[in-house]
Chain A
């Protein structure tokens, strides 16, 4: 029997049709920038390990305008990555205490508290 059903093609630009799709694609894209910042951090550690000259060279390179732009963009994507994944966590984790489900807001808040603690510790480590 001939199949007369009509299959609609999916547009390459499907992710621009809805704000939520766009945010999703940006969230996926943010992984590339996360990877870049990991590489950048490793380069920093390597420079520190090689001594003051290598570290000064690293700082000089970090001053270049294109690297500043790249790192600002990367940082904005890291913020997006963090906020979107923190917001999604309660859906992925069914946390229960004394038989009742922990509210989503409490799970999200606890992640920000965790982030603040880690940031505080790292700042103390670097600045002291």
Chain B
């Protein structure tokens, strides 16, 4: 195995560049080094102007998502040795505007997320003073998979629908809506459905399935969206067939 690998990294300095370009760096190729380690080596030893996001280095914070050889990945969980002999291409996550180098603007998601009310909604007046909400292990299992989302945005970067129609609310937001809908403590399913039944909600999705494939936490946003479509269709049929009081 060679002792170094080339990293072709997208650079965009908004004060200087009209559009992004490429810069190549050679970094040590070590068995235990991830793409993020390579970028940190560049930042610390070669070029301190390179900008990228990272935090935990262990696949929990979801901040180091980038496109590695065209595939959205957490760079802290992607090993350089898998791309030997290189070069390995590192780009900002697709479908988001680039702020600088490998940093993208996530404002769009931050604006969309609260629309699906990703928190427990109750229709009674029980407060924490009255005690905790009890839940069985089976009830926990019902939504646990969808609660693993770390908002890393790999699913948005992989979704061609979001790329073509930025109005689409997107995979992670819908998966999180499903997470709360399936929570036995929650009463907000109707409220969320009112948001997601719109065109830019679940019906925007054409089931490419790429969001599920790239998800580092196996959340299966595509599955959540299709199940939401069933709910939305069921609701539409009920609204059409039943008198107002019985819906």
* Cβ B20 vs Cβ A6 within 8 A: yes
- Bound-complex Cα distance A64 to B222 (A): 43
Closest to A6 in B: B98
Name A38-57 residues within 8 Å CB distance of B.
Answer: none
Across the interface, which residues of A come within 8 angstroms of B222, CB to CB?
91
Interface size on B, residues (CB 8 A): 29
* Cβ B210 vs Cβ A5 within 8 A: no
* Cβ A28 vs Cβ B206 within 8 A: yes
Instruction: Say yes or no: is B204 at the interface (Cβ < 8 Å to chain A).
Output: no
Name B133-168 residues within 8 Å CB distance of A.
Answer: 138, 160, 163-164
Instruction: Say yes or no: is B110 at the interface (Cβ < 8 Å to chain A).
Output: no
Q: Shortest distance in angstroms between A66's beta carbon and chain B's nearest beta carbon? A: 31
* Cβ B160 vs Cβ A91 within 8 A: no
**Contacts from B to A (Cβ < 8 Å):** 12, 14-15, 19-20, 70, 94, 97-99, 105, 138, 160, 163-164, 206-210, 212-213, 220, 222-223, 226-227, 229-230
Across the interface, which residues of B come within 8 angstroms of A5, CB to CB?
14, 97-99, 105
**Contacts from A to B (Cβ < 8 Å):** 4-8, 10, 14-15, 17-18, 20-21, 24, 28, 88, 91-94, 99
Across the interface, which residues of B come within 8 angstroms of A91, CB to CB?
209, 212, 220, 222-223, 226
- Bound-complex Cα distance A94 to B230 (A): 11
Interface centre among A6, A21, A93, by most chain B C-beta atoms within 10 angstroms, is A6
Identify 11 new A-B residue pairs, CB closer than 8 A, beyond the known A20-B213, A24-B206.
A4-B14, A4-B15, A5-B105, A8-B98, A21-B208, A24-B210, A28-B206, A88-B207, A91-B212, A93-B227, A94-B223
- Bound-complex Cα distance A93 to B234 (A): 14
